Structures are given as C-alpha cells and as structure tokens.
C-alpha cells in the first residue's frame, strides 16, 4: 500500500504542475486585464480594478494617449481565413480519406505527400511561398498565398482524422444501402455522412484552431493586410499595455464558445449513433 500512496502524491503533484503551467499564464493575464487605465501598466500590482482595457479594446473607452489596438480588421481577416480554411480542409480531407478507403496505385506516395504539409517547418514554407509568389508576380495576400498555405498545413490534420474514422467504418452499412436500391451519392449523404459526422466535427475544429492562430506560415505570405496573430506581434514592437491582455481573454472566451458548440454538436450526433461510434471519438479526442 505504501508505495501506492507515494505514487498518488507524485501524480497529484504532476497534475498540479500541469494545471499551474497551463492556466498560470492565463490567470495572470486575466488578472492584469482588469488593471486600472489608462495609466496602469502590464504588471503587478493592480492599482485599482477596472474594465477600462476591455472598453479600450472595443473602442468604447474615452480617447487617451494609448492608441487603440490595430486588430479590428485583422481579427475579421483571421476569422474569415480560419473559416474558409476549415471548410476547404475538411472537405478535402474527407474526400481524400474516402479515396484512401480503397488502396489505389501509388496511395503510399500520396499519403506522404499530403502529410508532409504538416511536417515541413512553417517558416521555411512561408518564405518559399513568398519567393515563388514574387517570382511569378503574384501579390501576397491573406486570402491568396496565406490561405493556400493554411490549407496545406491543416488539410493533413483533417485527412488523418478522417482516415482514422474510415478505418473503423463498417463498409457493409453502405453496401446494405446500395443493395436496397439507394444510389451511392444519396447513401453518402444519408448513411455515411451522419455516421462519420463526429469525425468531421473534429477535423473542422482542428482546421479552425490551427488556422486561427497560425503564425510562421502567415508572416511572410499575408502581405500588407495582416492577420490577428501578426497584428498582435506587431504591437509588441511598440509598448505593451493591458489592452492586449483584455483582448487575449476575449479571444480565449471565443475559443471556449467554439469548443462548447463542438461539444454540444458532438453530444447530439453521438447520441444519434452511440452504438458503433462511441469509441471512435475517444480515438480522436
């Protein structure tokens, strides 16, 4: 019994440290975001609690010497980019995984080509893309060059998730639909898709979050209209104010909202198909 108690302690400590490192920075940021403004700086102690910086971020604060964060447009761009990336990567990933269900000639090579997209160092890829664009005389833009790289980066994730899903997919369910006279396209919509939906959701979540705060690939390819992570990075060069923290908290809350929607949809869809697929999202999660 004795050594087990020791082990419990160790595990407890480990968990505590894990939580401390995961949420510590976040907690500090959360506290500092309520610093008094506009004089209060990004450090302790808190002079006085206030929501000034939140108002500042949203452009509701009275004008002061501190410039508003140049992120409003960047945020819109990042969200549009993340959304578009999510849609394209998930569709591509699902279709590719579907193609991989029957081993075709050269499928091994194609697999590595696709997965390479997430392995190649991002900065190099970004730099390379910038060079190619310049050579070809293409303007760099967040919706063009950067978008392509976001897809290249997130598509392998979506593909791998869907591959895992299809690996455990019982194909006789589709065959049953065909032999009932239901054509393949309708079978995919009415049978296959509802059954793989938990996987599709996960692939979407991956693509969305990876693209939303993508930095290295975007840095050189977004052109002059930058995305949110790059805009934030830009503000570091000047002076840091707690408005950055307030913004950080807001986007984290947004992420939680996305996660909650994911959780709810997942819950709904797995309640529908609990039988076969309860163990499937465990694989993914």
Partner 1 sequence: MKQYDLELLKIGKVYPGGNVAVEAFDLQVEPGEFISFVGPSGCGKTTTLRMIAGLEDITSGKLLIRGKDYTHVPAERRPTATIFQNYAIFPHMTVRENIGFGLDVRGIGTEEKRRRVGAIIDKLHLGDVADAKETSLSGGQKQRLALARGLVTEPDMLLLDEPLGALDANLRKSIQEELKLLQRSLNITFVFVTHAQSEALSMGDRVVVMNAGRVEQISAPFELYTRPKSPFVARFIGRNSLFSGTLAGAGNDRAVVETPFGPLQGTPAFQASEAKSGSDAMVVVPSEYVEIDGAGSRAADTSFDTIDGVVGSIDRVGQLAYPTVALDDGRSLRLETYADKIAGRGVEPGGRVTLRWRPARATVVLDQQPSA
Number of residues that bind partner 1 (CB under 8 A): 24
Residue 46 is a binding residue for partner 1 (CB under 8 A): no
By C-alpha distance, which of 38, 35, 36 is closest to 61? Answer: 38
**Minimum distance from residue 165 beta carbon to partner 1 (Å):** 14
Q: Select 143 or 188, whichever has its Cβ closest to partner 1.
A: 188
Report whether 132 contacts 67 (CB < 8 A): no
By C-alpha distance, which of 48, 34, 36, 75 is closest to 213? Answer: 75
Q: Which of 146, 195, 226, 228 binds partner 1 (CB under 8 A)?
A: 195
**Minimum distance from residue 173 beta carbon to partner 1 (Å):** 5
Helix axes 107-119, 145-167, angle to 10 degrees: 130
Q: Which of 186, 239, 240, 263 binds partner 1 (CB under 8 A)?
A: 186
Its sign, for the CA torsion 155, 160, 165, 171, is positive
Contacts of 11 (CB under 8 A, 6+ apart): none
Residues in the chain: 285
Residue 282 is a binding residue for partner 1 (CB under 8 A): no
**Minimum distance from residue 109 beta carbon to partner 1 (Å):** 18
Which positions from 166 to 185 touch partner 1 by CB under 8 A, shown as an x/- string?
----x-xx-xxxxxxxxxx-
Report whether 57 contacts 69 (CB < 8 A): yes
Q: Which of these segments, 11-19, 147-155, 156-164, 273-281, binds partner 1 (CB under 8 A)?
A: 273-281
Determine how many CB atoms are found less than 10 A away from the CB of residue 60: 10
Residue 273 is a binding residue for partner 1 (CB under 8 A): yes
Residue 139 is a binding residue for partner 1 (CB under 8 A): no
Report whether 58 contacts 125 (CB < 8 A): no
Q: Select 206 or 277, whichever has its Cβ closest to partner 1.
A: 277
Which residues contribute to the site for partner 1 (CB under 8 A)?
170, 172-173, 175-184, 186, 190-191, 194-195, 272-277
């Amino acid at each position: 019994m004795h050594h087990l108690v020791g082990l419990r302690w160790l595990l407890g400590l480990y968990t505590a440290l894990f939580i401390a490192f995961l949420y510590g920075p976040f907690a500090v940021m959360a506290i500092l975001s309520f610093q008094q403004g506009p004089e209060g700086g990004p450090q302790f102690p808190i002079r006085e609690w206030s929501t000034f910086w939140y108002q500042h971020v949203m452009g509701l604060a009275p004008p002061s010497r501190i410039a508003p964060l140049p992120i409003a447009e960047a945020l819109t761009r990042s969200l549009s980019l993340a959304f578009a990336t999510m849609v394209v990567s998930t569709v591509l990933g699902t279709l590719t995984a579907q193609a991989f269900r029957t081993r075709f000639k050269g499928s091994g090579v194609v697999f590595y080509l696709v997965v390479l997209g997430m392995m190649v160092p991002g900065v190099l890829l970004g730099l390379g893309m910038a060079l190619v664009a310049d050579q070809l005389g293409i303007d760099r833009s967040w919706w063009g060059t950067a978008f392509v790289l976001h897809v290249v980066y997130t598509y392998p994730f979506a593909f791998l998730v869907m591959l895992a899903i299809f690996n455990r997919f019982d194909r006789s369910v589709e065959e049953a639909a065909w032999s009932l006279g239901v054509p393949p396209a309708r079978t995919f919509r009415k049978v296959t898709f509802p059954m793989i939906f938990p996987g599709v959701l996960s692939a979407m979540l991956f693509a969305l979050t990876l693209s939303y705060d993508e930095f290295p690939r975007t840095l050189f390819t977004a052109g002059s209209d930058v995305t949110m992570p790059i805009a934030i990075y830009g503000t570091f060069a000047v002076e840091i104010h707690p408005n950055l923290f307030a913004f950080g908290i807001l986007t984290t809350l947004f992420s939680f909202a996305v996660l909650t929607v994911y959780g709810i949809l997942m819950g709904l869809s797995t309640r529908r198909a609990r039988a076969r697929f309860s163990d499937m999202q465990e694989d993914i999660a």
